[in-house]
Structure 1
Amino acid sequence: MSTAPSFDRRARRREQTIDEILAAAVRLMEAEGVAGLSLSAVAREVGMRPPSLYQYFPSKMAIYDALFRRGAEAFRDVRRETVRTAVAADPLELERICTIEFGRWCMANPIHSQLLFWRTVPGFTPSPEAYAPAQETMEDLRGNLRAAVAAGLLHPDAVSDDGIALYTSVTAGVLSQQLANEPDASYDDGRFTRLLPAVLEMFQQRYAPPRG
């Protein structure tokens, strides 16, 4: 007799339990702060004894790592879906649309945003597996800016390491200010998020294409 159906049920139950644990962790971080998470509190939230929780996550850092990975995957997928469905006249317009969607995603997912873009947890470093989707997103960004360079819309230095660092610094900085000062505002009404188009114009002016 095949044991596959039984194995599949156990695997599904395990994944469901992992989902419940991570959702509970997010709720607790929303109330207590990202760095204030404790395994005992997570266990109580899901009605589980701490030793049972260790069967799924051996440490608090493992929970942070799983949430980082899920956040990185979600943001990568949102960006790629935006690229797939956007109607844009040129690569710069497409990148503007992607950056706005980045802002909306960050406002809707503040806990994941703090893990992804700000060092809010002392001692936490994502594993290579958790960080891989974030690297894919950076390559997607670089590819889109390369297309803008090829179209004569940006200087080639825009895709240098300094150019990418500047782009991510100014865009993430706007979102950091928004989440720190007006976390409950909508993306459209935020005092800082409204500045995002201006920030993108500044980047484009800094890396304007060479004349002629």
Structure 2
Amino acid sequence: MGKKKAFIAYPLDWVFSTPSHVALLRALKDSAEGMSGRAAARAAGINHQACRQALDRLEAIGILIRQGSGHTQLVRLNFDHALVKDALLPLFRAEKNFQALLRNSISHSLGKDARTATLFGSAARKEDRPGSDIDLLLVTDSATKSPLSDKALEFGRGFTKKYGIRLSPITYSTSEARAKYRNGDPLLKNILSHGIDLLGEKLKDVIL
């Protein structure tokens, strides 16, 4: 392992040095009063040993504060720390809003031409990983679906540049979607079971 960089010049290398640091900071970001070490470990989804090590390291660089002692000891973010105020909290706010930002971008750009827009696949099930596509089913009342399909493909190219995530749209006409449902299309049934509707009208209300 290479030598760690200087803290003052590269503090984020130390703050984000392990996934347990990120998980713990995320768990504590909204807790003004703080929480016990065990509660912090549960909220962060990490084991007690990993939590204790992360607490020690983050306290050593001033990002966390311990209050009290023994069973009554609480840990919280040091909200007066410049990095917490100016870097960490804005970053976690951006993370929290990221999913809504993606969905709003899709609905705003394609909602005028689509009757329904439904996310499905790993992103809808919250099982996506880096490199996963966002699968999207679009349904249009137009007898000719190619204008919406072409628009979705063009939008997808810009979407990937802006967010680093590929958009994989499928476009059906309303009559086509209804016919597929009547014929027991497995993909459509799967989408109906776990899909997330992005527009005012729901897919099930259109095709059932």
Q: TM-score range by the shorter chain?
A: under 0.3
Greater fraction helix: 1
Q: What TM-score comes out, normalization by structure 2 length? A: 0.25
Larger Rg: 2
Q: What TM-score comes out, normalization by structure 1 length? A: 0.25
Q: Which structure is higher in RCO with an 8 Å CA cutoff and minimum separation 6?
A: 1
